[in-house]
């Protein structure tokens, strides 16, 4: 596993890097130097294996690496504090996940059809336009 459970690898070196990254995280006095390079390396390997488009879903990991680097060097990024850089990365991650659903409906609609129980009564496809969602959800208006 690289950064998330869906990003798989068979390399034992990746496991060693992750184990070292976890061990360093337990010690507060440990320098952030190793961890920022570990996140950057794992992200680069994931891009190499899965492509830039697939990793566009995960800029938060670059934000974590930038946060660790800026904190370690005690620097700001064009006037933004390290925590603000991390917040921006998290925000971009969430915004891209939302935009991706509308920008690439050809990828999303088949998944909605396969996982019909998980969409809480929403209907996918052109025939559902204008029809109210039929749902047994307790959150729907009555």
pLDDT tens profile 55-67:
888 889 889 888 8
Q: Among all chains, which residue has been given the structure tokens 């440990």?
A: 30
pLDDT in tens, 35-54: 778 888 888 888 998 888 88
Phi/psi of residue 77, nearest 5 degrees: -105, 100
Given this model, what pLDDT does residue 84 score? 92
**Residue 130 scores a pLDDT above 50:** no
CB 3 within 8 A of CB 58: yes
Residues 60, 85: contact at Cβ < 8 Å? no
- For residue 12, CA distances in Å to 41, 124, 136 come to 14, 41, 47
Spatial CB neighbours of 133, under 8 Å, sequence gap ≥ 6: 120, 121, 122, 123, 140
pLDDT at 70 over 60: yes
pLDDT at 118: 61
pTM for this structure? Answer: 0.63
């Amino acid at each position: 596993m690289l950064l998330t459970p869906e990003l798989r690898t068979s390399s034992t070196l990746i496991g060693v890097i992750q184990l070292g990254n976890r061990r360093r995280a337990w010690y507060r006095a440990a320098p952030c130097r190793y961890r920022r390079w570990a996140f950057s390396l794992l992200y680069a390997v994931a891009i190499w294996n899965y492509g830039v488009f697939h990793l566009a879903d995960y800029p938060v990991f670059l934000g974590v690496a930038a946060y660790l680097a800026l904190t370690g060097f005690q620097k700001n990024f064009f006037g933004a504090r390290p925590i603000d850089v991390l917040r921006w990365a998290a925000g971009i991650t969430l915004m891209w996940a939302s935009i991706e659903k509308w920008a690439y409906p050809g990828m999303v609609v088949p998944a909605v059809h396969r996982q019909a129980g998980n969409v809480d009564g929403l209907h996918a496809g052109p025939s559902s336009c204008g029809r109210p969602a039929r749902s047994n959800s307790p959150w729907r208006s009555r």
